[in-house]
Structure 1
Amino acid sequence: MRNFLMSGAALVLISGAGFMVITKPQHVDAAAFAALTPDPAHGKEVYDAGGCASCHWAPGAEGEARDVLSGGQSITSAFGTFYVPNISSDPAEGIGDWSTVDLANALVKGTGPADEHLYPALPYASYTHMVPQDVADLRAYLATLPADPTPSKPHEIGFPFNIRALLGGWKLLYLKPDWVVTGPLTAEEERGRYLAEGPGHCGECHSPRDALGGIDRSRWLAGAPNPSGRGRIPNITPGGLDWTKDDITEYLTSGFTPDFDSAGGEMVYVIDHFALLPESDRQAVAAYLKKVPAVETQPGDG
């Protein structure tokens, strides 16, 4: 019996060690960023495509203050309340001393500069598609924005979700480099896929999630409960949205629907940023959405 218990204990230790090894924080290949020449002007486009400000501006910020990325907004979930961090240029409380590789690790791998797992309230499951040049350009643009010394608020998360090591297992399940919508796609549709599945992270809001908080890819963009508890985020597959490509492009430009209604809620901020992108990018996203497999809206989805 003693030998059996010792063998069992050894197996548990080995299994635990193996789990820690395969779920340890991952990092990008730093060499992929070494020879890049950052373009802050293009970084502004990446910033707008990702809607960085709409999450990271301070609660109640208006006008130019929305580019002071001091954080503080709350994100309520079944796992607790997450507070959006300060990503301003402040070197102590923000990310002013982060390198491009530091930012890439956070966006693409969900790994912080202290080699810690980041919570997927940061939509790195989408940002994992971002190419190195876009990350470098974004870092260059963020460096031009104001610094703010406001400390980031700690998350309010209970056990066991406050154990960051468990996020390594979550990443094994959900941090996938493959595209949801596969070809054949035109060059325009591929650009739209990159924007929608990557920096634009459309699926993070418009797709339902499973019990572990991972996106249900079988109902990609088919709508989901609004985290605020007010209504639902709509189905934007062809099974729930019968707009033309031009209709979608116009909506992403002006916020007006074909029925002369207008965008509401968080979508207002998405459109504010998307409207600043080249029109070709809005057309590309519209073309992509017409290629997404149709998923019918289920009874009760609203």
Structure 2
Amino acid sequence: MLRNLLFGGAALAVLAGAAFWFLTRPEGIGSSALAAVGPGDATRGERIFWAGGCASCHARPEAEGERLLELSGGLELETAFGTFVAPNISPDPAQGIGEWDESVFVNAMLHGVSPEGKHYYPAFPYPSYARMETQDVLDLFAYLKTLPPAAEETAPHRLSFPYTMRRGIGLWKLIYMHEEPLVELPADAPEAVLRGRYLVEGPGHCGECHTPRSFAGGLQFERWLAGAPALEGDGRVPNITPSSAGIGSWSVADITYYLESGFTPDFDSVGGEMVAVQKNMARLPEEDRAAIAAYLKAVPEVEGE
């Protein structure tokens, strides 16, 4: 009897391990899957670059002006899970992504999978980028290839067990990665609101900072954009839903102007981590800023932070 129980327990353990290994496997696409997508366009890609705030994490820390385009990485993000270091994504073939092809870049952006077939940590906001159009990702890649190579090698992440176990991120992805839009809009929603949803939920990854997280670090989608503790250090990221606790008193024009100028309707100015974000938004076409504003006025109101 005992022997049978031990055998049964061992068999269950093997099955559980096999199920875990299957469910957590990194999944991506091959080069052939991109055959139906047009070639990347660097001009369009520059627009996505600023919408996505790529330089805010991947430029040299404290970089300004043209040096924002030298994507040598090195920025350290200190979180409750450990310290993550933004990698070099310049076209340098040794330290950057100069040797990547389109499918490798698409797998990183849309699936959070590395060239080695491992899960990336979601400190890289691929759960938001997963909502991007593949064409936009290819356009971004085309633009990145036009930027100056940077030969700096970045330091590794500094994490402790169990966060060093990347395989478990596969389960995290099953729970927290959603390719479909988060906010359901009416069928007759204006084109500007639809465009704003795409920019905010996808390349802009606004929810990564403005939405509270669970104990596992996943976004609490039921409190979308309701404000959250800052990922680094003290302080809070504000509620940007159209509620009384958020930006309900701001008009579409107010939000649009804030994203362009950094000035609020109350004659205050942008501060903290939002400074870099606002500078990125200021580089977008006026229609994109207005679309973001229209979407923020259309999301569900959530009170409190």
TM-score by length of 2: 0.95
Q: Which amino acid aligns with 2:236?
A: R
Contact kept in structure 1, 2:118 and 2:166, CA below 8 Å: yes
Say whether the 8 Å CA contact 1:28–1:108 is kept in structure 2. no
Q: Which is further off, 211-220 or 57-66?
A: 57-66
Partner of residue 201, structure 2: 197
Q: Tell me by how many angstroms 1:227 deviates.
A: 2.2
In the alignment, the residues of structure 1 paired with residue 151 and residue 39 of structure 2 have an alpha-carbon distance, to the nearest angstrom, of 29
Deviations 1:87-128 (A, max 9, x none): 111111100111111111011100001001000001011000
| Alpha-carbon distance, 1:34 to partner | 2.2
Alpha-carbon distance, 1:66 to partner: 1.5
Q: Specify the alignment match of 1:270 in structure 2.
A: 277
Cα-to-partner distance string for 1:181-207 (whole Å, 9 max, x where unaligned): 101122111100000000000000000
Q: 2:46 is matched with which residue?
A: 44
1:248 aligned to 2:255?
yes
Q: Give the letter aligned to residue 145 of structure 1.
A: L
Written as runs of structure 1 = structure 2, the 5 A alignment for 1:1-302 is 1-28=2-29, 30-35=31-36, 36-184=38-186, 185-239=189-243, 240-241=246-247, 242-297=249-304, 301=305
Contact 1:33 1:136 in 2 (8 A): no
- What per-residue deviation string (whole Å, max 9, x for no partner) do you get for residues 7-57 of structure 1? 111111111111111210011364442241211000000000000001001
Whole-Å Cα distance in 1 between the matches of residues 292 and 153 of structure 2?
A: 36
Segment of structure 1 superposing worse, 240-249 or 2-11? 2-11
* Regions of 4+ moved over 6 Å: none
Larger displacement relative to structure 2 (174-183 or 154-163): 174-183
Tell me the distance in 2 between the aligned counterparts of 1:44 and 1:193. Answer: 19
The alignment covers a number of residue pairs equal to 298
The residue type paired with residue 99 of structure 1 is D
Please say if residues 90 and 148 of structure 1, whose CA atoms lie closer than 8 Å, have aligned partners that are also in contact: yes
Rounded to whole Å, the distance in 2 between the matches of 1:7 and 1:89 is 53
The question of whether the paired residues in 1 share the 8 Å contact of 2:31 and 2:102 is answered with no
The residue matched to 1:3 in structure 2 has which SS?
Answer: helix
Matched residue SS, 1:291:
coil
Task: State how far apart, in whole Å, the 1-side matches of 2:52 and 2:169 are.
Answer: 23
**Given the superposition, is the C-alpha separation of residues 29 and 188 from structure 1 closer, same or farther in structure 2, using an over 3 Å criterion?**
farther
- TM normalised by structure 1 equals 0.96
Give CA deviations for 1:230-265 in whole Å, capped at 9, x if unaligned.
Answer: 321100001111200000000011111011111011
The gaps in structure 1 that reach 5 residues or longer are: none
- Equivalent pair of 1:32/1:132 in contact (CA under 8 Å): no
**CA distance in structure 2 between the partners assigned to 1:139 and 1:285 by the alignment:** 23
